[in-house]
Amino acid sequence: IFNALVAEFFSGKGRTAKLRTVFAVGDEKQSIYSFQGAQPQLFAQNSLNISTKVTEAQLKFEEVRLNMSFRSSPEILDAVDRVFQSNEINAQGLSFGPDGYPPHTALKHKLRGHVEIWPLFAKAPKKQAETWLLPVDFISEEHPRVRLAKQLAKTIAGWLSPGSRERVHSSEGAGRPIRAGDILILVRSRSNFAEGLNRELKLLHVPVAGADRLKLAGHIAVLDLIAVGRASLLPLDDLQVACVLKSPLFGFDDDDLIRLAPLRGAQSLLQAMQASEAPHYVAAAERLRTWQTRATSLSPFQFYMNILAGEQGRKAILSRLGQEAADVLDEFLSAALTHEAAGAPSLVKFLSDLENSDAEIKRDFDAAGDTVRVMTVHSAKGLEAKIVILADTGNVPNGSKDAKFFQIPRVGTSGDPNPLLAWLPRKGEACAAVQKAQDTALALALEEHRRLLYVAMTRAEERLYVAGYHTRQPDDKAPTAAALATHAASWYGMIKDALQDGMVATEAAWEPGQMILSRSRGDLKPGQLAAAPAEPQSLPAWLRQPLRFEAGVQPPLRPSSLLSAADTDDIGDIVDEEAIAAQPAGEQARLSGQMIHRLLQILPAYPDARRDLIGDILLQREGTGLSRVQRRRVIDEAIRVMALSELQSVFSPEARAEVSICGEVAYGDKKFRVLGRIDRLVVLPSEVIVVDFKSGTKREAAIGQMALYYALLGQIYPDHRISAAIVWTREPAVDWLDAVKLRRAMDALSPA
C-alpha cells in the first residue's frame, strides 16, 4: 500500500509545482509481531528506495535517528546498549540499516537506576518418588519455577510492606515508597509459571491485576457459577452441589463435606444437608432450594444477578479471587444479556453455550490501578513501570512448536509470489531444501527473540531485575556445546554475559552459595528515607448499605394530556341548548375541534373579506371527514372568535400561532416537566398574552393546562406581565384567568 501511494511522488519533472513529501516513523527494534505478518527489514528497504528516488530528483532526504529515551534512567539504557553491542549475534535482527544498532541517550539523565541479575533457580536433586496418590499434574514445591514464584512474591511483598525502606522516585525527583502499580513482571508466555506467580502474590496479599488475557469459560469464578446453574437445575447432581458448596458463595472446605458426604447413605447431598442438625448445613440447603425455584422462573441474567448482587455473591467471589475476577463477572453477566437478546432465554442453553464458548477477555493493564501487573512482553508493548522484573529468561526458541509447513522458492526464481509449500511431519525427514527453510524460520524466530528482549528491557524506568529457572536436572558432567549455545542465546545468558563484568556480587538470602549481581548509580540506599507510619483506614458505613431504588425519569407532562376529553363532545359547561342539539358527535367532534384550531392558526394572516373563502378552501382539502353543513358551522365559529374585540392583539401580525414550549415548573414541593404547544401567543413591550382555544372541555382541566403555561412564560419573561385566557369557541367567549384561579389549578395538579 505504501509503495503504491508514493511510487510516482518523485517521478518526472515539472508535472506539478506542489512539492510532495513522505514522512515515515518506525522502530525496527520493537517489531515483535511476526505472527501477524510483520517483516521489520522492509522498513530499511523502503527507506533506501525512497532516499534513492528523492536524491535522483535532487530533493532533500533526511534520516532522523530517534535515540533519545523519554522513559528509562541512564543505568537501564546503558545495560540495554551493552547487551546488544556486546557481540554481533546479539544485535542480529534489531537493525537492518547500514548504521547498525544505535546507542541510546537518556532524557532523564539525572535519574538514578539499578540493574540486578538473580541466579537461575535450578532443579533440586531427585528425591524419593512421590506417592502415587498425588495428581498426575502435581508440581512439587521444590520445582524451580515454584521456588522462583515464591521468592519473587516474597521480595515484592517486602517492598510493599509498611516498614519497607525501598524507594523509587516521584515525578519531582524525590524518594517515595514503592507502590504495587510501580511493578511490572514480564513473562514470555501465559504459562503455568505466570498463573503460579499470580497465585503466590495473592497468598501474600499483594495487590495483583491477574492475567492480561482470560478464557471466560475456563476461569474458576465462571466454573463456580456454571456449577450453581447445574446444581439449581439438577439438585441430585452431587458433584455440582459439592462444587457450589466449596465455592466462595458458601465457603465450605473438605472437612465440611467429609463430615456429611460419606455417611449420607442413599440420600443425595442436598437431602443429607436438609436432614442434618447442623445449622450451616440446613441454611445452605435452604439457599440451594431457593435457587432451584428461581431457575425455573427467571431468565439467566435475572437468576445470576439475584445471586451476585442481591445475595452479595460478587463480594464473596472478589474477596477470595481478587479484583481480577471483577472483569470476569462483568463479562459473564454480559454474556447472559447477549443470550437473552438472541431469543427465548433458557438457563440450560445458556450454560451449554457458555461451556462451549472460546470467548477471551483482553484486559487493559494500562488502567489496572495500583496493582502488580504480570503480563507477556507482547501485551506490555507501549507500557512502562518504575520496576520491571524479567521472570523467565532461561528459554530459547528451538522450532519445536513452530508450524510444520514451510515455503520453498522454486528453483531459479527469486521473490517468487507462488512458492512451493512443504510439510515436514518429523524432524529427521527434512531434505536439503526443507532443512534450509526450517533453518531460515528458526533464524527469524531468534531475531524476534532478541527484539522481544529489547522491548522487555526498555519497559523499565528505574529498576530492572533479571530472573529465571533451569528445567534440566543438575549433574556433574561438563555442559555440551549445544547447552552452552542455548544458554548464550537465552535472555539470561545474553544479559549476564554482557553485564557481569563490573557488577557487585552478594550472596542470595534464599540459597547460600548463589550470588546476586547488581550495579547501581547513586541509588537510594535502605534507611535513607524512613517510611511514614501507615494510618488506619476504615470504610464508611454507606459502603455496605444496599442501594436505594431510584425511580426512572418521568416523561415530560404534556398539558393537553391533563384534559381527559380535550375538544371533544364533552358539553358539561355549555349552556346554549341550540349548540347542544347541533353539536357533532364522535369522530366529527374531534375533527371539528382540529379544524377550528387550524382556521384560527391560518385565517388571521388574511384580510377579513377573504377569510370565508380561504376557510372554505382549507376545509375542502383538510376537513374531508365533515359534511358541508358542519364545515360551514366551523368556519362561522372561527370567524366569530376572530371578531372579538378583546382579542385583536392576539390575532395581530405580531402574534404567533402554535408555539412549542418546554421546561420545568417548581411549585411548592412539586416539580412538573412540561412539554406543550400554545395556541396563540403575543409578546408586547410590557405584557405577554397567551390564549388557548377550547370547544367543549371542562373548565377546571383547561385552567390547569393554562396554569402550567403561565408559570413557564413567567420564567421566560420575568419582566413582563403575563395574561392568560381560555377562549371558548362555541359561545364565543373569553375567560381571563387571574392569579387566584391559576394558583388553585396548580394546587390540584399532580406531577405524576
Choose between 403 and 577: higher pLDDT.
Answer: 403
* Mean pLDDT, residues 168-195: 87
Identity of the amino acid at 196: G
Q: Which of 53-62, 291-300, 425-434 is predicted least confidently?
A: 425-434
Which strand (E) or helix (H) includes residue 52?
helix 41-56
pLDDT-derived band of residue 131, with 50, 70 and 90 as boundaries?
low
Burial of 219 (0-12, 13-18, 19+ CB in 10 A): buried
Short-list 530, 524, 535, 537, CA closest to 163:
530
* Mean pLDDT, residues 242-253: 92
Beta bridge partners of 102: none
C-alpha to C-alpha distances, 470 to 86, 348, 375, 396, 477, nearest whole angstrom:
24, 47, 21, 12, 16
Please measure the distance between the N-terminal and C-terminal CA atoms of the chain and give it in whole angstroms: 62
Check pLDDT > 70 for residue 478: no
pLDDT at res. 524: 46
pLDDT at res. 581: 39
Would the pTM count as exceeding 0.85? no
pLDDT at res. 246: 92
pLDDT-derived band of residue 234, with 50, 70 and 90 as boundaries?
very high
pLDDT at res. 577: 34
> 204-213, 362-371, 451-460: which has the highest mean pLDDT?
451-460
pLDDT at res. 563: 41
pLDDT in tens, 732-745: 888 898 888 888 88
Percent pLDDT > 70 in the chain is 84
- Mean pLDDT across the chain: 82
pLDDT at res. 130: 57
- What is the C-alpha separation between 557 and 562, in angstroms, rounded? 8
pLDDT at res. 523: 47
pLDDT at res. 680: 92
Residue 364's region, left for phi above 0, alpha for psi from -120 to 50, else beta, is beta
- What is the C-alpha separation between 288 and 729, in angstroms, rounded? 69
pLDDT-derived band of residue 486, with 50, 70 and 90 as boundaries?
confident
pLDDT at res. 288: 93
pLDDT at res. 528: 42
* Mean pLDDT, residues 537-566: 62
Report the half-sphere exposure of 204 (CA within 13 A, side-chain side): 22
Choose between 29 and 702: higher pLDDT.
Answer: 29
Choose between 711 and 367: higher pLDDT.
Answer: 711
C-alpha to C-alpha distances, 555 to 199, 551, 558, 664, 752, nearest whole angstrom:
51, 12, 9, 12, 9
Which ranges constitute the DSSP H helices of 385-478?
432-457
> 140-154, 364-378, 380-394: which has the highest mean pLDDT?
380-394
pLDDT at res. 487: 74
| Contact present, 646 and 677 (Cβ < 8 Å) | no
DSSP, res 625: T
Short-list 512, 506, 170, 210, CA closest to 361:
210
pLDDT at res. 232: 93
Choose between 214 and 374: higher pLDDT.
Answer: 374
Record the cell numbers describing residue 594, joined without a space: 382540529
pLDDT-derived band of residue 45, with 50, 70 and 90 as boundaries?
confident
Identity of the amino acid at 92: Q
pLDDT at res. 417: 67
pLDDT in tens, 373-403: 998 898 888 889 999 999 988 888 876 666 7
pLDDT at res. 480: 66
pLDDT at res. 582: 45
Record the cell numbers describing residue 157, joined without a space: 511483598
pLDDT in tens, 625-649: 888 888 899 999 999 999 999 899 9
Which strand (E) or helix (H) includes residue 376?
strand 373-376
Record the cell numbers describing residue 442, joined without a space: 528458526
- What is the C-alpha separation between 485 and 481, in angstroms, rounded? 6
Tell me the pairing of strands 105-106 and 373-376.
unpaired
Distance, C-alpha 309 to centroid of its chain? 20
Check pLDDT > 50 for residue 225: yes
Choose between 197 and 474: higher pLDDT.
Answer: 197
Q: What angle do CA 318, 321, 325 make, to 5 degrees?
A: 65
Check pLDDT > 60 for residue 585: no
pLDDT at res. 116: 94
| Contact present, 602 and 618 (Cβ < 8 Å) | yes
pLDDT-derived band of residue 576, with 50, 70 and 90 as boundaries?
very low
Residue 616's region, left for phi above 0, alpha for psi from -120 to 50, else beta, is alpha
- What is the C-alpha separation between 680 and 530, in angstroms, rounded? 78
* Mean pLDDT, residues 271-290: 90
Residue 463's region, left for phi above 0, alpha for psi from -120 to 50, else beta, is beta
The widest CA-to-CA distance across the chain, in whole angstroms, is 124
* SS3 at position 613: helix
pLDDT in tens, 671-698: 888 888 899 999 999 999 999 988 765 6
Q: What angle do CA 155, 156, 158 make, to 5 degrees?
A: 65
pLDDT at res. 114: 92
> 137-146, 247-256, 323-332, 401-410: which has the highest mean pLDDT?
247-256
* SS3 at position 200: helix
Check pLDDT > 50 for residue 79: yes
* SS3 at position 137: coil
pLDDT at res. 732: 87
Q: Which of 248-262, 385-399, 469-483, 534-548 is predicted least confidently?
A: 469-483
* Mean pLDDT, residues 428-436: 79
- What is the C-alpha separation between 140 and 196, in angstroms, rounded? 12
| Contact present, 115 and 519 (Cβ < 8 Å) | yes
Identity of the amino acid at 61: F
* Mean pLDDT, residues 518-545: 60
Check pLDDT > 70 for residue 501: yes
